[in-house]
Chain A
Amino acid sequence: MLTSHIDLGKFRAGEHLQREWGFGGQRKWRDGLLLLAFFFGGVGAGQFLISTLLIKWPLSALIGLLIVLIGKGAAHILYLGRPSRFWRIFFRPQTSWISRGLIFMTIFVIFGALYLAPDLGFDWLPWSSTSATGIVLWIIAAFASLCMMVYDGFLLMSGRSIPSWHNGIIPLLFAIYSLDSGIAITSTLSALSGKIETVAEATYIDTLVLLAVLASLGVYLLSMAGISPAARLSLRDLLRGGVAPFFIGGTIIAGVVVPLILIYLASSISYLELALNLIAVAGILALLGDLFVRHSILKVGYHLSPI
């Protein structure tokens, strides 16, 4: 635990940073696996949803599914202190968001795979992605993917003694970022594989989501200004402290502002190949922004003083 001695008006000694989740905890890189699990979960769920809903691209949806299954699954299991007991996590969904998250993930992977299977060579199955059964499978998988996008926000929000996490905007922020990442990775893959035929279709939705990300980040920062001394400490760390390079540089500038500029450039130039490359770069930067925002929020989790 790290007690801070910074004078911030009503600051009370005893506020301390959480050091359990995210990089820099007792187990150094291994504690950072939780951050990667949140990141892969958001990216994979977002990619599946966008790939199946907007562009009907089974291969991209499969990549999203694998990001969740392998990336998120492995990161979560390796993060645990006792990985061999992970199966116990299934049994407390009534009160624990970790249990709920694992159940959402399992439903998402199973129903997502069943939905995609006929389009990926398993055409002997008695349903197709457009049949009634296929649509039901998609609805369940899409619902589970939406739950995965918001559950890690609720997970953080449930910590009542960490004001920078116990904030109603967090689940929304994480969900918007998941969508942003889903769009980013899908548009990057589309641009690189030549699947996008017109630049306008890729840039319009990218711009909308990036603006939504910017707005939700603004609301998050404003909401922390007056809550409590611990929240103000978090805000200070985000904007001026050690986390500022990740938050200002990585999240806001590299993750939102630069992609918006690149997308604007892509939509205004007539050379298609260059425009697609700009879209791909913007997508990669937006993905990095997602990783940095989750990292920054985990890093500034100050517990209120226990006394």
Chain B
Amino acid sequence: MVIDLRRCIGCGACVMACKVSNGTPPGVFWCRPVWREVGKYPYARIEMIPVSCMQCKDPACQKVCPTGATQIRPDGIVIIDYTKCVGCRYCMIACPYGSRFFLDKERTYFPNYKTPFEEVKYKRFQIGTVTKCDFCIERREVDKLPPACVDVCPTSARYFGDLDDPHSEVSVLIAKERARQLHPEYGTDPSVYYIMG
């Protein structure tokens, strides 16, 4: 995935689309905004950078997982097998991007009441396990759609494609615009690239 921060207007639509599409419980943000200050007074401003799981090629979370619950699929997506996760949260400590969330108990958006939407969406989660973005596997495999955050972006700041294909749109963009990874020094080789503003 490539995120063009020159186009991003910080509307947060990706965050909301992720929540709607995946039905994540309160407090769980597979796609979340991270704010940073840029520039100096009187030209200082706040900038939003959307951060989700970086789907690293050499993920720290997968290495530290003591049960093998965190796995890398052949297409490079890092997934969690909820039936194997013991909820030790070592992966949350290891992830440099803070992209993992622990489901400590069942939380609903309305007190003591699960909406029909939540009834359906919560079936995929298991209390006591860790969860994270999976680039909308269901949307892509069943409906052949890109991830919700990519689909919804009103400024088309997100691009989704195959990084292993040198002719794909994302590969061309990375080369042409010198897109960069966040914290490459950790050696995790993230698959999400940012074109800096």
A residues near B (Cβ < 8 Å) are: 1, 12-14, 16, 18, 20-21, 26-27, 79-83, 85-86, 88-89, 91-92, 95-99, 102, 155, 158-162, 301, 303-307
B104 touches A306 (CB 8 A): no
> Given known contacts A14-B35, A81-B85, A88-B67, what 15 new A-B pairs fall within 8 Å (CB)?
A1-B98, A13-B35, A20-B89, A21-B89, A92-B67, A95-B63, A98-B88, A158-B94, A159-B94, A161-B183, A305-B36, A306-B51, A306-B182, A306-B183, A307-B49
B67-92 with Cβ < 8 A to chain A: 67-69, 84-90, 92
Shortest CB distance A79–B (Å): 8
Shortest CB distance A231–B (Å): 15
When chains A and B are docked, how far (Å) is the Cα of A117 from the Cα of B179? 64
When chains A and B are docked, how far (Å) is the Cα of A301 from the Cα of B86? 22
A82 touches B93 (CB 8 A): no
Chain A residues near B86 (CB-CB < 8 A): 80-83, 85-86, 88-89
Minimum CB distance partner of A28 in chain B: B104
Minimum CB distance partner of B69 in chain A: A88
A91 touches B68 (CB 8 A): yes
B87 touches A81 (CB 8 A): yes
Chain B residues near A1 (CB-CB < 8 A): 98
Shortest CB distance A228–B (Å): 11
Contacts A13-B36, A158-B94 given: A88-B89 contact, CB under 8 Å? Answer: no
Interface size (B, Cβ < 8 Å)? 40
A98 touches B186 (CB 8 A): no
When chains A and B are docked, how far (Å) is the Cα of A12 from the Cα of B67? 34
| B160 within 8 Å of A (CB atoms) | no
Shortest CB distance A225–B (Å): 21
